[in-house]
Chain A
Amino acid sequence: MVRIKKKFSPLDAALCIATTAVVLFVIHRVSTDLNYRWNWSVIPQYLFRYDEATSRWIPNLLMQGFFMTIKLSLWAMVLATIVGTAIGLLRMSGSLFFRMIARSYVELLRNVPPLVLIFIFYFFIGDQLMAVIGAEEFIRSRSPELQRFFSIIFAPPSSFSAFLSALTTLVLYEGAYITEIVRAGIESIERGQWEASASTGLAKWQQLRFVVLPQAVRRTLPPLAGQFISTIKDSAIVSVVSIQELTFQGMELMAATYLTFEIWITVTALYFILTFSLSLAMRRLELRFRQHGAL
């Protein structure tokens, strides 16, 4: 193994100074040239506010958007992983028909800009689909307790079908990438592993389940982490179809208060908290795999 030198060279010092100078210059320009009245004091109340009626602190606009982003990304990650794994396995199937279906899905979804995809889905396909399954009637005819439950895990009745449309788009879009990650993971497992497990008498499905997949999961973890982080960031595009997630709430708030920069900076920080903690979690998971060889 090559030892990496950990010495602070003059070049490093020069780079540090240069970076700091650039940052300071930008801050200076912003504070002098930009005609903007900073007003940070009102931002905290948009995160949490004190509710007089129930005398409790409750999340306000930005935090509500933040939770919506979490719900949306979480569901999208889980469902996209399922879709991606299923289609990824189809990609490796012996049947040409299944392989072609999987291939068509991946190529179709991957080669369309997500923004276009979300518009098509929301206005055309999603609308027909939601009417056919009767998503909105279903949720409105439930009891208040069930409606509350659905509001907490998905979205309130008024935006339920829009939420499902947006979620479906995200799942299909991210699923296409996860399909390729899964396929690459399985294909990276050496042929000898298949042959060895076949010689111990395992059936094809058992070879996959007990020998190939456990190894493939380990290899797909780093690209999967990247994809999950992308999912969080991509969830911002559903703001264009008025899903009330973080970006949408931020933009609505800007339209009402004109605090453009304070709100964008806050929104950025919230996204960063989310993506960075996911990064750290995935990193821990990877280390665990490396130490124990399994979960």
Chain B
Amino acid sequence: MKKFSTAIIAPIVLFAAVLMVSCTGRPGDDDKGAAATSLVEEVAKRGVLRVGMSTFVPWAMQDKQGKLIGFEIDVAARLAQDMGVTVEFIPTKWSGIIPALLTGKFDVIIGGMGIRPDRNLKVNFSIPYDYTGMSIVAHKKLAGGFAKIEDFNKEGVAIAARLGTTAAAAAKRFVPKAEVRLFDDESQAMQELLNGRVHAVVASAPLPAFQAIKYPDSLFLPISENFTREPIGFALRKGDVDTLNYFNNWITVVDSEGWLKERKHYWFGTRDWENRIQ
């Protein structure tokens, strides 16, 4: 009888132990009010602002020296400098970036994240510091003569986009009849297009235009303007009014200075940085 009971108890004990470890929250997690520990103070104490980001050309990318460069990197570096701390970038896969923020792998996402209602249910957004739009680049042979976004909204048309991005959402909304294939990053989506397995790639501007310039023989821009306009904000964990207020005002200040516009022009309006990455 004794043997029998241990046989049952052992796995239960083990399972309970695993459950206990996974369920007990971080000590004092629940009673930490927003006022008690604001991120701004926590960051000041630590001396390091941890920023979650993902590679998106030209928002954030690594140069030949392995150093991160790009529009978002400039923004985050200036933010940290103004907060009087050092910045630390944590490159994270885009598809898992919100869970990583929520579980505290870093303090804020500064990664060209579009403010979207469904995302906003899970995180807080700052006011927009930038606007972007979706653009489309198509295959000359497969999509020859396509001139409107409606032309792509047909059965048998395949569109590629990056998983978890607003581009993927836009593709599903604007061309619901087309088949949307999702990839982990844009380079794979672009390769699919170059190989002629999809008709077009939807991505945030200016990437489609850059690609059309790079491969003039096989790609073209069916629509010259962006077909959406999306606000971009910092994403942070919910309920931290103090930090949200700081970020919002910081954005207002650097925007008024004209600094954001100047940086944006360097990364999006020129290609002076091109030889820094290849």
Q: With a CB–CB cut-off of 8 A, which chain A residues contact B234?
A: none
Within 8 A of B (CB), among A222-277: 239-242, 244, 248, 251-260
Q: With a CB–CB cut-off of 8 A, which chain B residues contact A128?
A: 21-22, 24-26
Question: Chain B nearest CB: distance from A181 CB in Å?
Answer: 22
Closest A residue to B106 by beta carbon equals: A158
Q: With a CB–CB cut-off of 8 A, which chain B residues contact A131?
A: 26-27
Does A129 interact with chain B (Cβ within 8 Å)?
yes
Chain B interface residues toward A at CB < 8 A? 3, 6-7, 9-11, 13-15, 18, 21-22, 24-27, 46, 48, 50, 54-57, 61-62, 64-66, 88-93, 96, 99-100, 103-105, 184-188, 190-191, 194-196, 215, 218, 277-278
Contact of A96 among B3, B22, B27 (CB under 8 A): B3
Question: Chain B nearest CB: distance from A105 CB in Å?
Answer: 7
Closest B residue to A98 by beta carbon equals: B10
Q: Give bound CA distance, A45 to B27, whole Å.
A: 46
B194 touching A35, Cβ below 8 Å: yes
B103 touching A256, Cβ below 8 Å: no
B278 touching A61, Cβ below 8 Å: no
A159 touching B90, Cβ below 8 Å: yes
B65 touching A158, Cβ below 8 Å: no
Does A116 interact with chain B (Cβ within 8 Å)?
no
A104 touching B184, Cβ below 8 Å: no
B100 touching A242, Cβ below 8 Å: yes
Closest A residue to B94 by beta carbon equals: A255
Does A34 interact with chain B (Cβ within 8 Å)?
yes
Q: With a CB–CB cut-off of 8 A, which chain B residues contact A255?
A: 54-57, 61, 185-187
Q: Give bound CA distance, A51 to B64, whole Å.
A: 11
Q: Give bound CA distance, A108 to B21, whole Å.
A: 16
Contact of B55 among A100, A129, A252 (CB under 8 A): A252
B90 touching A158, Cβ below 8 Å: yes
A256 touching B277, Cβ below 8 Å: yes
Does A25 interact with chain B (Cβ within 8 Å)?
no
Q: Give bound CA distance, A289 to B105, whole Å.
A: 46
Within 8 A of B (CB), among A22-36: 34-36
Given known A-B contacts A96-B6, A100-B6, A242-B92, A256 and B61 have beta carbons under 8 A apart: yes
Question: Chain B nearest CB: distance from A273 CB in Å?
Answer: 21
A-B contact pairs, 18 of them (CB 8 A): A35-B194, A35-B195, A35-B218, A36-B194, A46-B64, A49-B66, A97-B9, A100-B11, A105-B14, A127-B103, A140-B46, A158-B90, A240-B93, A252-B55, A255-B55, A255-B56, A257-B277, A260-B187
A-B contact count (CB 8 A): 119
B interface secondary structure, majority:
mixed
Does A60 interact with chain B (Cβ within 8 Å)?
yes
Q: With a CB–CB cut-off of 8 A, which chain A residues contact B56?
A: 255
Contact of B187 among A49, A129, A242, A258 (CB under 8 A): A258
A162 touching B218, Cβ below 8 Å: no
Does A101 interact with chain B (Cβ within 8 Å)?
yes
Closest B residue to A35 by beta carbon equals: B194
Closest A residue to B13 by beta carbon equals: A101
A251 touching B185, Cβ below 8 Å: yes
B55 touching A256, Cβ below 8 Å: yes
Given known A-B contacts A255-B57, A257-B278, A258-B190, A61 and B100 have beta carbons under 8 A apart: no
A101 touching B14, Cβ below 8 Å: yes
Q: Give bound CA distance, A123 to B92, whole Å.
A: 13
Contact of B65 among A60, A251, A252 (CB under 8 A): A60
B96 touching A61, Cβ below 8 Å: no
Closest A residue to B11 by beta carbon equals: A104
Given known A-B contacts A64-B66, A252-B62, A125 and B22 have beta carbons under 8 A apart: yes
Does A205 interact with chain B (Cβ within 8 Å)?
no
Q: With a CB–CB cut-off of 8 A, which chain A residues contact B9?
A: 97
Question: Chain B nearest CB: distance from A29 CB in Å?
Answer: 12
Contact of B90 among A96, A97, A242 (CB under 8 A): A242
